[in-house]
Chains A and B, each alone.
Chain A
Amino acid sequence: MVLSSAEIQKALEDGRLVINPVPGSAGTKSPYNTHSVDLTLGSEIVIPQPMTASIDLSESGSIATLISQNAQRRTATKDQPYKLERGKFILAQTKEVISLPITSALGARIEGKSSVARCGVLVHFTAPTVHPGFHGRLTLEMINLGPNVFSLSPDLPIAQLIIEEVKGELTPNDSQFQNQMKPEGLKA
């Protein structure tokens, strides 16, 4: 069940959902739509750089360290927005920190906004799911597929969050681990 904006606000009030800073606290236009809440852009921009090595997620290793070492970082400001060139891929984050306490049984999906989409800019692709228990800023995988350079400045409404109730048991249980357990001792 997707939460309406009224239910989202109720979840914020009783702590089942935490968004910090609170949506709308900047005094701009209402961040709520019928069943979503707008999120804004943070100031950090990460620009992944080409590597000589290929990425193979099926191998054990340290992908996180590798791609961190091969990235440039920029800070966007209102005076000096980051100019996202045509065809370029960057990572950014929401200004808001999101918390979905596991006890709330709430999950979420991040989606784009039509105003940004009409400019040909994707703000996420393939990874919209925010799992119950998540805490942190949402990372945006952004690419400019449009014909024009797109300015990214902090506080720009960049995405919308859709909140969903999750039905069923969320606590990890033994049966859930069976396929991942190699040591015999853990199967006991």
Chain B
Amino acid sequence: MDNWLECEVSVGMFSTEFAITAQQFDGKTFSLFALQDDVRTKSAPNGSPVSGLLHVNRIKTSNDLAMVVLPQLSPEAGTTVTVKVSQLHQVSA
């Protein structure tokens, strides 16, 4: 099962990507550009962001927190962030 992080999805700079905004465990937001293959949404973002899921790699879990590796570098947070386990969804690839 793959891990997917709750996020907001907006149109990216290039057609092959989305702009992603998500939250760390403490509520601080971070963003990144992700390939569309690494994002799931129920509807395509247009003028306004939509809710979605970002494919992440969970590398450590302790209590209700998890450390995950992002698919691309976040300008605000780097490549690894700590999130609440409740923000993660397990979905088959």
Contact = CB atoms under 8 A, between A and B. Distances in A.
Contact of B67 (A71, A93, A186): A186
Contact of A67 (B13, B26, B64): B13
B42 interface: no
What DSSP secondary structure best describes chain A's contact surface? Answer: mixed
> Size class of B's contact patch?
35 or more
Contact of A64 (B20, B24, B65, B80): B20
Nearest to B69: A172
Given A64-B75, A180-B80, A137 B59 contact: no
B82 A64 contact: no
A46 to B, nearest CB: 5
B63 interface: yes
B31 A65 contact: yes
A62 B21 contact: yes
Contacts of B33: 64, 68
Contacts of B59: 172, 177
A177 B62 CA distance: 13
A1 interface: no
A81 interface: no
Given A61-B31, A185-B65, A186-B60, A180 B78 contact: yes
Contacts of B44: none
Contacts of B28: 60
A39 to B, nearest CB: 15
A188 interface: yes
A61 B16 contact: no
B82 A181 contact: yes
A88 interface: no
Contacts of A137: 14, 16
A21 interface: no
A69 interface: yes
A102 to B, nearest CB: 10
Given A172-B59, A183-B25, A188-B62, A64 B19 contact: yes
A65 B35 contact: no
Nearest to B11: A68
A66 B31 CA distance: 10
Contacts of B15: 44
